[in-house]
Amino acid sequence: MLSFVARRVLGLVPVILVVSIVVFLLLRLSPGDPAIVIAGDNADAATIERIRSSLGLDQPLVTQFFIWAGSLLQGDLGISIFSNIPVADLILQRLEPTASLAVTTLVFAILIAVPLGTIAGATAGSWLDRGLMLVSVLGFSVPVFVLGYCLIYVFSLQLRILPVQGFASISDGIGPFLSSIALPTVTLGLAYLVLIARITRASVLEMMGEDFIRTARAKGVKERLVVTRHALRNAAIPILTVIGIGVALLISGVVVIETVFNIPGVGRLVVDAILKRDYPVIQGVILMFSGV
Amino acid sequence: MNSLASPSAAPARAKRHLPAFLSHPSVVVGGFLVLAIVLMAMAAPLLGTVDPTRIDPGMRLKPPSELAWFGTDLFGRDVYSRAVYGARSSILIGLCVATAALLIGVTVGLVTGYFRWVDAIVMRVMDGLMAIPTFLLAIALVSLTRASIGTVVVALTIPEIPRVVRLVRSVVLTVREEPFVEAAISVGTSTPKILVRHILPTTYAPLMVLGTYICASAILIEAGLSFLGTGLPPEIPSWGNMISEGRTFFQVAPRLVFLPSLFLALTVLGINLLGDGLRDTLDPRIAKRM
């Protein structure tokens, strides 16, 4: 077991290395020169040169990479070129809304998807099953921001029961927190929900044909228990795998959804950083998300 | 002589699938949707549209009327015309990204699957690329240069390549041990010829399915990029751009967001349905490989 864990961890090293090289090159090779941007419009060549050397941008590329990777290993993600705040701090400041959204989305999606997928799988061919499959194709096809605007339109503009945009921290009270995070959670969770529901259905359906299900039925186990205790439990591994894979899906959604609902999270941070070409921030956020 | 067998085998298989293909409900509905959107994109000037880029300051944010069926946007441009023309950018991008990702992915996948020594290096690079969330990688790539259709296509293609490589590689790994490949080797067929004539055709079916999914995902991601303001330049009519511009006026004129959203969702839905149908009819096992 220990050697298995060790091998898996060692196997991650080349992946992390490739990710960091890609992220580093990607942003260092881009044409925008942050030194010129920071120096402003009226700066002379000497000022630009001074800023460039203070940022280490005048070093050869390979040297820059090793300096960057070295400090990275010490947990130093660098300093934002624009706000002069360490990137790690910037991310930490913005982490709460994003983390809250991720957790509520996970809980929401799993709580609905697993029972729904299980019932659909156990009653394959029923109207519920067909309905779920239809909704799941829709869920994959509707972009998160479109869904977000539809929900805002119905619940915030027409029914007026939920706030349009913004984020309330959980420390502001559970009521405002839940009402501000409800729409983003549902929006972000739908694609994730249908993904999990689909896999749950397929995996339960596969188990329902196994011999041990027939045995369980033959010895008189109630159908409900056959499905939950016997089929679902054995179907758990693919479901857990897809819950893990789906986290990557969530991340893409988070970036967009934070713009739709005006949530000051990490996604918003990276979009702003990209528009300003703030390399260290972009690198830090991509590395953090890739690590997840 | 072996080379004679496989080209004739491929069309024969396609013919056998043709009826099953067309009777699958997903393929029919999805194919119809895709066809309708493609026709709409091609016939855009004939569908009662005006110049989608014409700015008319006197007609800003007008409600729907006989002149402008879905009203006008912030700059007085006709929303209906922009949405119809927007189909062109989305379809162009979807097709270009799918084609480019398949071509590059197939080449790399064939080589890595067949030559074991390349495999270790290339697959680590692919793992690394896959570890970066697709959307973030695309956003970062597109922000490298000035926004244009070309840069968006490149930025969307790169994150899709690893998926193609993995699929092709997995097919090649199973096929290369098959007797017909051994037979080809034993009669002295050259390696490039084995790859192209004997191994490549076995990847067609799964690639067709993956291609449709890549196309759908490219259209979605382009819309997302344009929505965030990092995609296509704003003067190009695209659904993502329209939604992005319309969101400021969402409370006043939700139609600015809803019309392009509807087109976008229908297009992606059509392509996804087509993909699902193809997957079911061509090879049920593909579902598990992806």
pLDDT per residue, tens digit, chain A (292 aa), is 778 788 777 777 777 788 888 777 776 666 666 666 666 666 677 777 777 777 677 777 778 778 777 777 777 777 777 777 888 888 888 888 888 888 889 889 889 888 888 888 888 777 888 888 778 877 778 888 888 888 888 887 777 777 766 677 767 767 777 777 788 888 888 888 888 888 888 888 888 878 888 888 888 888 888 888 888 888 888 888 888 777 777 877 888 888 888 888 888 888 888 777 777 788 788 888 776 6
Output the furthest CA–CA distance in chain A (Å, rounded): 87
Which residues fall within 8 angstroms of residue A130, CB to CB, at 6 or more apart? none
Contact B167, B209 (CB under 8 A): no
Question: Which B-chain residues 242-271 have CB contacts (< 8 A) with chain A?
Answer: 243, 247, 250-251, 254, 257-258, 261, 264-265, 268-269
The pLDDT assigned to A51 comes to 74
Which residues fall within 8 angstroms of residue A175, CB to CB, at 6 or more apart? none
The nearest CA of chain B is from the CA of A159 a distance in Å of 13
Instruction: Report the distance separating Cα A191 and Cα A200, nearest Å.
Output: 14
Which amino acid, one-letter code, is at A11? G
Put simply, whether B121 touches A (Cβ < 8 Å) is no
The pLDDT assigned to B96 comes to 93
Put simply, whether B55 touches A (Cβ < 8 Å) is no
The pLDDT assigned to B100 comes to 94
The pLDDT assigned to A215 comes to 86
Chain B residues whose beta carbon lies within 8 Å of the beta carbon of residue A277: 143
Put simply, whether A290 touches B (Cβ < 8 Å) is yes
Which residues fall within 8 angstroms of residue A63, CB to CB, at 6 or more apart? none
Tell whether the model's pLDDT for residue B70 goes beyond 70: no
Contact A78, A87 (CB under 8 A): yes
Tell whether the model's pLDDT for residue B286 goes beyond 50: no
Among A18, A146, A164, beta carbon nearest to B264? A146
Q: Smallest Cα–Cα separation from A109: which of A184, A40, A27, A41?
A: A184
Chain A residues whose beta carbon lies within 8 Å of the beta carbon of residue B254: 149, 153, 157
Tell whether the model's pLDDT for residue B170 goes beyond 90: no
The predicted-structure confidence for B94-150, as pLDDT tens digits, reads as follows 999 999 999 999 999 888 888 878 887 888 888 888 877 778 888 877 777 667 788
User: pLDDT higher for B219 or B49?
Assistant: B219
Tell me the backbone φ, ψ of residue B152, rounded to 5 degrees: -60, -40
Question: Which A-chain residues 169-228 have CB contacts (< 8 A) with chain B?
Answer: none
Query: Of A23, A37, A146, A195, which to mutate for an interface test with B (greatest number of B Cβ within 10 Å)?
Result: A146
Flag the least confident range among A212-221, A274-283, B44-53, B151-160: B44-53
| Beta-carbon separation of A31 and B272 below 8 A | no
Q: Smallest Cα–Cα separation from A270: which of A73, A19, A27, A12?
A: A27
Chain A residues whose beta carbon lies within 8 Å of the beta carbon of residue B33: none
The nearest CA of chain B is from the CA of A222 a distance in Å of 31
Helix pair angle (A174-208, A127-141), 10° resolution: 120
Which residues fall within 8 angstroms of residue A122, CB to CB, at 6 or more apart? A204, A205, A208, A227, A231
| Beta-carbon separation of B145 and A31 below 8 A | yes
Nearest chain A residue to B141, by CA: A26
The pLDDT assigned to B177 comes to 84
Fold of B9-289: MetI-like fold (1.10.3720)
Put simply, whether A245 touches B (Cβ < 8 Å) is no
Among B228, B250, B276, beta carbon nearest to A256? B228
Nearest chain A residue to B131, by CA: A290
Question: Which B-chain residues 208-227 have CB contacts (< 8 A) with chain A?
Answer: 216, 220-221, 223-224, 227
Domain boundaries, chain B: 9-289
Nearest chain A residue to B128, by CA: A15
The nearest CA of chain B is from the CA of A221 a distance in Å of 31
Block residue for tokens 């995609």:
B231
Contact B86, B263 (CB under 8 A): yes
The pLDDT assigned to B104 comes to 94
Chain A residues whose beta carbon lies within 8 Å of the beta carbon of residue B216: 140-141
Which residues fall within 8 angstroms of residue B194, CB to CB, at 6 or more apart? B181, B184, B185
Question: CB pairs below 8 Å between A and B: how many?
Answer: 134
Chain A residues whose beta carbon lies within 8 Å of the beta carbon of residue B272: 137, 140-141
Q: How many CB atoms lie within 10 A of CB B235?
A: 9
Query: Of A10, A13, A15, which to mutate for an interface test with B (greatest number of B Cβ within 10 Å)?
Result: A15
pLDDT confidence bin for B288, thresholds 50/70/90: very low
Put simply, whether B143 touches A (Cβ < 8 Å) is yes
In our burial notation (b when 16+ CB lie closer than 10 A, e otherwise), range A23-51 reads bbebbeebeeebbebbbeeeeeeeebeeb
- Candidate ranges A70-74, B2-6, B88-92; pick with highest mean pLDDT: B88-92
pLDDT confidence bin for B12, thresholds 50/70/90: very low
Instruction: Write out the H or E segment, with its range, that includes residue B172.
Output: helix B149-175
Q: How many CB atoms lie within 10 A of CB A177?
A: 17
The pLDDT assigned to B11 comes to 46
| Beta-carbon separation of B265 and A18 below 8 A | no
The predicted-structure confidence for B203-250, as pLDDT tens digits, reads as follows 888 888 889 989 998 998 888 888 887 777 877 888 888 888 887 777
Chain B residues whose beta carbon lies within 8 Å of the beta carbon of residue A290: 131-133
Contact A101, A181 (CB under 8 A): yes
The pLDDT assigned to B99 comes to 93
pLDDT confidence bin for B5, thresholds 50/70/90: very low
Tell whether the model's pLDDT for residue B44 goes beyond 80: no
Take residue B192 and report the two structure tokens written for it. Answer: 């490039």
Half-sphere exposure of A171 (CA within 13 A, CB side): 2
| Beta-carbon separation of B227 and A29 below 8 A | no
C-alpha distances (whole Å) from B96 to each of A97, B153, B154 are 37, 7, 9
Alpha helical stretches, state H, chain A: 2-28, 34-39, 45-54, 61-73, 87-122, 127-141, 144-151, 174-208, 211-218, 223-225, 233-234, 236-260, 266-276, 279-291
The nearest CA of chain A is from the CA of B143 a distance in Å of 7
Among A22, A31, A149, beta carbon nearest to B257? A149
